[in-house]
Structure 1
Amino acid sequence: MTHQNKLPRGAATIALCFVTALLEGLDLQSTGIAAPGIGAEFKLAPAMMGWVFSAGLVGLLPGAFAGGWLADRVGRKTVLVWAVLLFGIFSFATAHAWDYPSLLGARVLTGLGLGAALPLLIALTSEAADPSMRSTAVSLTYCGVPLGGAIASVIGMMKFDAGWRMIFYVGGIVPLVVALLLFFLLRESASFRQEALNQAPADRRIGGLFADRVLGSTLLLWVACFFTLTVLYMLLNWLPSLLIGQGYSRAEAGIVQILFNIGGAAGSVMSGRLVDRDRAGLAVGISYAGMLLSLAGLGMSTSFALMLVAGFAAGCCAIGAQAVLYARAPALYPTAIRATGVGASISTGRLGAIAGPLVAGQVLAAGAGAAGVMLSAAPGLVVAALCAWTLSRRADPEEVRAGQALGTR
């Protein structure tokens, strides 16, 4: 009877986390989808548009760290509900921005909520899932992010009287409903409740990220997240504008963006399954090599058919690579610092996410075009691949057990 009760609880937690990830993905890509309309209405140059993209990412950085840190103290559920409310309210506020500064402010505050939510979704899912399916469960939750992006692309392709603002109305109202569902239906993590009976001192929670047994893995994870998210967010934010700049219609750009996100969902699930089968190194090799090839395809494709293939492959590999890192991250840390550890790695990655759109904006301003943007991403991807591959070999079961022992000392 006990086993029968655990399975529905775990499934409900994963389902709720997946739905929340859908909203996260919708909002994360909403600015990229709305960019042509925003740029036209506020008369923004490419460099200024780069700051609009990066404004939300600026909020993501402290949001991810603070959300994880708070969740290890007051609980995953409480912080997640408030995070969803926060990004819903300010996504709605984005639709009512009246000038450039108000637009930037709304995106920063939206980013705070989005940033706080993601590490909690990963921590909750990993703690709810069966150990043999933990990475798959995390990747299934994370695939909600690209699927949410696909929904954003569909909304962007539709003709609404509200224009570019419609996507932010959807991204503002729906999270308020989901926050109520989380409040009434989501159960607090059993692992957190157990850990709360024997709380670790606050300094050990952050210092544990740099303990001898996990220091190397922490640093590798941070570097890999930084460079992977640099490329991912460059694509998420600039891809529609780059395609339109290459002569494709808005509808064609939307189709490529949808395929990018569908590919991302497929890549996320594939990566999780490989990690659970102890093939993390293979997942890393496929993801990063595929990313380099697909970036070349996006920059040099001369036909729409090839662009569709390149878009799907880019999403599959870019989001698949990040899914490998997110699937591995919870296993590196004991329960007492798990959300903090995941949040810190996401925060570090957000530095790359901030840099990516800004670099792309400057490359375009210099006249290098889409091919130049794609080429500028290659060196960072090589560094990320080396770190991720090394991490996949270090994150063995003995290290996980050592990390668990550290948390119970």
Structure 2
Amino acid sequence: MEKSVSHSGKATLTLALCFAIAIFEGFDLQSMGVAAPRMRAEFGLDNAQMAWAFSAATLGTLPGALLGGRLADKIGRKKVLMFSILLFGVMSVLTAFASQYSLLILIRFLTGLGMGGALPIMITLASEAVSDKYKGTAVSIMYSGIPFGGMLTSFVAMALAGDSEWRHIFYIGGLAPVLMIPLLLKFLPESNAYLVKNTQSTVPFMQVLFAKERRFSTIQLWISFFCTLVVLYLLLNWLPLLMGAQGLSKNEANYVQIGYNIGGIFGSILMGFLLDKLRMSFVIKLIYTGILLALCCLAISPTVALLSLSAIGCGLFIVGGQSALYGLAARFYPTEMRGTGVGAAVAVGRIGSFAGPLLAGMLLSFGSSAGMVIGASIPMILIAAIAALMLVSKPKQQTQLLSSST
């Protein structure tokens, strides 16, 4: 009984700390989006330059996720996570001191390197803290911290009304994770599953991803991650500016952004819970049908109230859907290679994160309306839905095989 209580306490502590880290990641991820109108005016940036400013951090998350996930399997989850948090916290603070555009791009890339290293480890720690039947719920609870942090960014932006105060967003978003490192050092437990399975020899990188029993699952995960994150990050970074292009004021655009994040918080928890309770194929169909309907409504809604409701729907299904995909990724790789497998999936998804804001910037440069930019994301959602459905339609025997090492 004492062992059970102790295990439950460690699981709760792990999820609580990972949730807090996710809040800081979410805060920083959307800091560029809410600071963008003020930064653009100060630096004199056009749409194409803003797209690169948005995408520099997400580009950095690609090598960060690969390295972080791989190192987590080799030297432990906790060490790599703390270094990643320190890196993205310090670089977020330095964003406020960038005096020229090229320096801004470099700092944002290094910020992304730290964020990319942290995310697959948080997913891995959350999934390994609980039994197999609760993995989806655990990952989704952790991941809900990201839209929660994004919502806090909007509130901070509204409180800092002056155009010269955009730097305060990065002070807050950078100092908070750095100050949390002593707490992690003292209280965050290393994954029991990792400690039990850890051996001197590690599975070769390509075998982790492309061994016969995982080859097609890996590819289908990658396609789903890439296409879903194209759309998620397009909205994450460009939503305030797209709403401004439709005639909304800064505060009205922030309300829409807050709606998107509120939907994301509830969607993250709900979709992970449903993933553990219902047939996977039903949950995937629900997610991608909801995304398509929400995007169509966001593209054509004529009022602030309807735009906010549509944004809630987008957050509910897009952010919630990505949370469910993270839960799926954790299920499809056994413990000794979970960091590497999840890290690779996150890295491929980050290519989509990088491409999404660039796609929006390119379409706007060609004179597309905000509605056309949102509508252009619909084909990506259809491709993601097909790949995800193929993934969860695998025979149960394969999933059990992959989960047997958890």
Quick check: TM above 0.5? Answer: yes
Aligned to 1:244: 244
Aligned to 1:55: 56
Structure 1: how far apart are the matches of 2:134 and 2:320?
A: 17
Matched position secondary structure for 1:32: helix
Bigger CA drift: 92-101 or 384-393? 384-393
Aligned to 2:108: 107
Question: Would the aligned equivalents of 2:89 and 2:173 in 1 still touch at CA under 8 Å?
Answer: yes
Matched position secondary structure for 2:379: helix
Deviation by residue 1:274-304 (Cα, 9 ceiling, x = unmatched) = 1101322222122211212211222211111
| Structure 1 residue 132, shift from structure 2 partner | 2.3
Aligned to 1:357: 357
Structure 1: how far apart are the matches of 2:328 and 2:82?
A: 25
Aligned to 1:258: 258
| Structure 1 residue 183, shift from structure 2 partner | 1.0
Structure 2: how far apart are the matches of 1:201 and 1:249?
A: 54
Deviation by residue 1:179-238 (Cα, 9 ceiling, x = unmatched) = 221111101001111112x343352x4412111111111000000000000000000000
Structure 1: how far apart are the matches of 2:29 and 2:8?
A: 31
Structure 1: how far apart are the matches of 2:38 and 2:375?
A: 27
Aligned to 2:304: 304
Aligned to 2:137: 136
Structure 1: how far apart are the matches of 2:323 and 2:161?
A: 34
Which structure 1 residue ranges, 4+ long, deviate > 6 Å from structure 2?
none
Question: Could you tell me which amino acid in structure 2 is paired with residue 117 of structure 1?
Answer: A
Question: Could you tell me which amino acid in structure 1 is paired with residue 76 of structure 2?
Answer: G
In structure 2, the gaps of 5 or more residues are none
Matched position secondary structure for 2:166: helix
Alpha carbon RMSD of aligned pairs, Å?
1.4
Number of residue equivalences? 404
| Structure 1 residue 115, shift from structure 2 partner | 0.3
Question: Could you tell me which amino acid in structure 2 is paired with residue 189 of structure 1?
Answer: S
Structure 2: how far apart are the matches of 1:210 and 1:178?
A: 37
Aligned to 1:403: 402
Question: Would the aligned equivalents of 1:199 and 1:336 in 2 still touch at CA under 8 Å?
Answer: no
In structure 1, the gaps of 5 or more residues are none
Q: CA 1:395–1:360 in 2, change beyond 3 Å: closer, same or farther?
A: farther
Question: Would the aligned equivalents of 1:333 and 1:400 in 2 still touch at CA under 8 Å?
Answer: no
Aligned to 2:180: 178
Question: Would the aligned equivalents of 2:202 and 2:336 in 1 still touch at CA under 8 Å?
Answer: no
Structure 1: how far apart are the matches of 2:234 and 2:9?
A: 38
| Structure 1 residue 160, shift from structure 2 partner | 5.8
Q: CA 1:140–1:201 in 2, change beyond 3 Å: closer, same or farther?
A: closer
| Structure 1 residue 324, shift from structure 2 partner | 1.5
Structure 1: how far apart are the matches of 2:391 and 2:4?
A: 34
| Structure 1 residue 404, shift from structure 2 partner | 4.8
Question: Would the aligned equivalents of 1:200 and 1:336 in 2 still touch at CA under 8 Å?
Answer: no
Question: Could you tell me which amino acid in structure 2 is paired with residue 122 of structure 1?
Answer: I
Q: TM-score, structure 2 length as denominator? A: 0.97
Aligned to 1:314: 314
Q: Is 1:195 equivalent to 2:194 in the alignment?
A: no
Deviation by residue 1:323-360 (Cα, 9 ceiling, x = unmatched) = 11101111111111101100100000011111100010
Question: Could you tell me which amino acid in structure 2 is paired with residue 58 of structure 1?
Answer: L
Structure 2: how far apart are the matches of 1:135 and 1:297?
A: 28
Matched position secondary structure for 1:374: helix
Aligned to 1:39: 40
Question: Would the aligned equivalents of 2:132 and 2:403 in 1 still touch at CA under 8 Å?
Answer: no
Question: Could you tell me which amino acid in structure 2 is paired with residue 338 of structure 1?
Answer: R
